[in-house]
Amino acid sequence: MKRYSTRIASNPYLVGSFACIGGGLFGLDISSMSGVLNNEAYKRTFGYPGSNAQGAIVAAMPAGSFVRALLVTKLADVIGRRPTIMTSAWIWVIGSILQCAAQDRGMLVVGRIFSGMSIGLASSCVPLYQSEITNHNIRGRIVSLQQWAITWGILIQYFIQFGCSYINGAASFRIPWGLQMIPAIILGLGMMFFPESPRWLIDHGREEEALEVLADLHSGGDPNNELVQLEYEEIKAQVHFEKTEGAKSYLDLLKPGIFRRVTLGCSLQMWSQLSGMNIMMYYIVYVFQGAGLTGRRGNLIASAVQYVLNVMFTIPAIIYIDKWGRRPLLLIGTMMMGFWLYLVGGLQGGFGEWGIVDGDRVWVISDRGSVTKGVIVCSYLFVCSFAVTMGPVSWTYPAEIFPMRVRAKAVSLSTATNWMFNFALAWAVPPGLSNIAWKTYFIFGTFNFAAFVHVFFCFPETAGRTLEEIEDVFSQGHTFAAWKIKRDIGKKTLQEVKRRSEAASFDDGSKEEKKAEETA
């Protein structure tokens, strides 16, 4: 008896997208904080936290995510991808309960650490699961749904916060924090009906089960389908090669050919954080406040528009990411994001001054309506640029570039890099805006231009290939001339895969015979 629903497995978009609820949890957390920054009941309950204290509260979540993202490798490799995602859901429920019931900063921080542990598991394992269970022709589209789920989480939670802001007292923030456990419960229960990764099954000697999963995923249950056989043979050959090559360990990440990919995966997650999107998501209230947009209602509405744009402009990337490719999106995105941040910094620096807003000393643009609108528009355009480029690609690329034997470890290390920089920036941005104000935008703009240079020289295209074919992409070399690797590199037919598999089996047989002769 199968341990999953064949009807679910036969729908590639459902089987690939449901786990994205794990990404939605990250989005819920982002706006669960950004929506309360100017909530008087929140400030009163938690002792009117200053910029450093507020940064620490926000940073507690990515701190937990960083630790848990590193530990996910053991779980994902030992118990499987699906149970790991289910575990993340129940940890999130615990974190939500603690936050909802928090009576002081300490309890709130502990709750956010639990939520961070959940997101650390989900953000590492969900793209891994998606990349291993979907057809290579739509892999980028499916994995990029992780980013879309994040944007939906941000949007939904922000509107809940917006509605609850009209409630007097602590219920205005406790209700949204309590409601965010509902998606996690749905994820934890729903994943029971989804199949395990066929690559993980083959890696653990469950080949018949893996073939069944592949047949249900790609051909309505027909194990003799050419696509099913092609992927099955490729996975078997790759797993066999990796098992004979050496033991699985973190030392594998330092081997030639692997270390290059580890640096690419980690650096891309680093650049996604250094792009400045943290400012626009966690602390958009502070950004618009400094632009001269006053009043809680006006600020909340302007922020809500930004979150809607974030959702809308992720859609083109989901549809076309496999057609456009990863490199073009990263190059265009980093250049545009740097440009918009430089404009925001220039407008802030040229027309702003130090002033007092709501009792706090801030750099603010006063009585210049056109400049205020200019900053808001540039902020919107920055978010749109991120949503259609760096956002989805930063999750897709690290999930597809690693070989099976190190994939879970390497993806978790890449994701841990994301959370390490998320933690640092979540804590550093409020003091940064309080002390160097508009110069903060120039710093992040410069990071984007540096990312453009790095991508241009070092990041090869990976779209349109199976995970096993990507091995040929990196075997081409061109470590610092990535543009030389063409998009047709690595493409194979079923006959070529079978011949390679038979040759590998013959070589292994010859080695065994030779050893037997030497022993005799």
- Measured between alpha carbons, how far is 392 from 406 in angstroms, rounded to an integer? 22
Give the pLDDT score at 85.
Answer: 93
Q: Which candidate, 479, 459, 467, places its Cα nearest to that of 327?
A: 459
The pLDDT value recorded for residue 84 is: 92
Tokens of residue 175, six digits: 């209700």
DSSP string, 15-84: HHHGGGHHHHHHHHHHHHHHTTTT-HHHHHHTT---HHHHHHHHHHHHHHHHHHHHHHHHHHHHT-HHHH
> Cα(406)–Cα(400) distance, rounded to whole angstroms?
12
Tens digits of per-residue pLDDT, 498-512? 666 566 555 555 555
Positions in the chain short of pLDDT 50: 247, 520
Residue 505 in tokens: 């089996």
Q: Please give the pLDDT value at position 498.
A: 62
Instruction: Say how far apart CA 363 and CA 357 lie, in whole Å.
Output: 9
> What pLDDT, on the 0 to 100 scale, is given for residue 247?
45
Condensed to tens digits (0 to 9), the pLDDT of residues 428-473 reads 888 888 888 889 999 999 999 999 999 999 999 988 887 778 888 8
Contact by Cβ (8 Å): 383, 336: no
The per-residue pLDDT for 513 is 57
Asked whether the beta carbons of 24 and 88 are under 8 A apart, the reply is no
pLDDT of residue 449: 98
Question: Which pLDDT score is estimated for 168?
Answer: 87
Residue (of 502, 472, 501) closest to 234 by Cα position: 501
